[in-house]
Structure 1
Amino acid sequence: MISALRWLALEVKDIDHASAFYRERLALDTVRESESEVVLSAGETDLVLRRPSAIPRGGLHTHYALSIPASEYDDWYEQLAGSFDLDEHTFGSARSLYFYDPDGNCVELGESDGEESGVHGMFEVVLEVEELARAESFYTDLGMEIVDQGSERRRTRLAADGFALELWEPHLGLADARGGVHVDLGVAVGDPKATLDAVVESVRSVERLDDGIRVRDPDGHFVTFVEG
């Protein structure tokens, strides 16, 4: 059912400071801005920086991953190493570097095969969950596929077209990253109403919007189904 990640919202204390960080450090373009939020572009996914003034809030201490071309990885590392305590890990043949934004979110830049210069997508978001089995059931009902699990089952990785969700029971991951709490995501689906029907028995709330249907998952994360 889920075909793309449309947005990830992060809660920030100082919207000017936070947006300057992403514009200057990661060269993200501005989509739109207001007094309460700034929306930046990471490929087809919007990164929303939001003051905590309404519900849904943005996610706190959220770990997420952005795609950069492999040909530029060394340049990104050199550019960021002077200002951040970078943590680097390799997954198969792909390298990723980790660092933190001003609000304590763990940002990962991972190599991809894409040829587009700069940050050109968001390929992973980590959610903190209370019970893995319950969270796995919810997201597999949305059509995501389990592709990896931790040896002690403290984490599960699920994939849809082009991106992944990691579900973590509370713990510190690579680079001392944590799963996000009260995260706000937007996902593209073929039919928002049919998607709601697949999980309606397990959601905590439902809100019908002009452009989609917003639900709250069993762990309090907001997921909005938009047609696409």
Structure 2
Amino acid sequence: MQPALDWLALEVKRLDRATAFYRDHLRLDVARETDTEVAFAAGETDLVLRRPTGPPRGGLHTHYALSIPRTEYDAWYDRLAGTFDLDEHAFGDARSLYFYDLDGNCVELGESDGEGSGVVGVFEVVLEVVNLDRAEDFYTALGMEMVDRGSERRRVRLRGDGFDLELWEPQLGLADARGGVHVDCGFRYPDPEAALETVEGSVTSAERLGDGIRVRDPDGHSLTFV
């Protein structure tokens, strides 16, 4: 079964400054808050900002994409263009704009046909990996489907339930984006134990928590099956 994305965590240096950035520029609402992290609601996914106090850390220089309604895209572009040097790209009939947050993460806002207003979800996360074949085998074992492969076989795009996961060997992508390192994600499964069984021989660590199972993939990314 394909996993859904429960959360994506980013590492930030100053929690107050990063919180203000996402609240003011992306107009996200705070879902929960502690002394060390703030979680924003982005559709069905939480976008978590986390100070580096211990593992799992949030991701560094992570490229990820947020969905916005097609009818609001031009308004988003006009508003953000006054503050950021936006980089725009089209994928078929869908447009995306790219800019950077205060901690070096590349934020993409992409048109979608979904209902709602503002940011309505997270539709893509990019991870940096050392061995592309190994990483592809790992994530397809977790139920993700390969949908696209880079012409030079340095990246692969996998599909989960409502989001895509891109695996990149070290490189610069559009807008000079990079895949994230030590990214922390939550994956929703009907049966977390069954998900663990599919990759138990490949993970570098596994820990059962009160609300799920946390594993570390071969490239050091933290995944929690909930």
Query: What TM-score, normalized to structure 1?
Result: 0.98
Structure 1 residue aligned with 2:159:
159
- Is 1:71 the equivalent of 2:49? no
1:77-126 per-position Cα deviation (integer Å, ceiling 9, x unaligned): 00000100100000010000000000000000000001201001000000
Structure 2 residue aligned with 1:143:
143
Mapped to 1, the partners of 2:41 and 2:65 lie a distance apart of: 14
Structure 2 residue aligned with 1:91:
91
Structure 2 residue aligned with 1:81:
81
Mapped to 1, the partners of 2:162 and 2:216 lie a distance apart of: 23
Mapped to 1, the partners of 2:211 and 2:34 lie a distance apart of: 19
For the residue of structure 2 that corresponds to 1:194, the secondary structure is: helix
Structure 1 residues 96-115: aligned runs within 5 Å: 96-115=96-115
Structure 1 residue aligned with 2:33:
33
Mapped to 1, the partners of 2:158 and 2:115 lie a distance apart of: 25
Structure 2 portions without partners, runs of 5+: none
Q: Could you tell me the percent identity over the aligned residues? A: 73
Structure 2 residue aligned with 1:191:
191
For the residue of structure 1 that corresponds to 2:88, the secondary structure is: strand
Amino acid at match of 1:60: L
1:172-218 per-position Cα deviation (integer Å, ceiling 9, x unaligned): 00000000000000010111111100000000000100000000001
How far the C-alpha of 1:74 sits from its partner, in A, is: 0.2
Mapped to 2, the partners of 1:72 and 1:194 lie a distance apart of: 40
For the residue of structure 2 that corresponds to 1:80, the secondary structure is: helix
Mapped to 2, the partners of 1:59 and 1:160 lie a distance apart of: 20
How far the C-alpha of 1:3 sits from its partner, in A, is: 3.2
Mapped to 1, the partners of 2:157 and 2:179 lie a distance apart of: 12
Amino acid at match of 1:188: R
For the residue of structure 2 that corresponds to 1:56, the secondary structure is: coil
**Structure 1 segments of 4+ aligned residues over 6 angstroms from their partners:** none
Alignment check: 8 A CA contact 2:3 2:144 kept: no
Structure 2 residue aligned with 1:59:
59
Structure 1 residue aligned with 2:176:
176
Alignment check: 8 A CA contact 2:11 2:60 kept: yes
Structure 1 portions without partners, runs of 5+: none
Alignment check: 8 A CA contact 1:10 1:50 kept: yes
How far the C-alpha of 1:28 sits from its partner, in A, is: 0.4
1:37-56 per-position Cα deviation (integer Å, ceiling 9, x unaligned): 01111001000100000100
Alignment check: 8 A CA contact 1:4 1:160 kept: yes
Mapped to 1, the partners of 2:136 and 2:50 lie a distance apart of: 28
Count of residues paired in the alignment: 226
Alignment check: 8 A CA contact 2:3 2:143 kept: no
Mapped to 2, the partners of 1:114 and 1:145 lie a distance apart of: 22
The two structures, once aligned, show a CA RMSD in angstroms of 0.6
Amino acid at match of 2:129: V
For the residue of structure 1 that corresponds to 2:126, the secondary structure is: strand
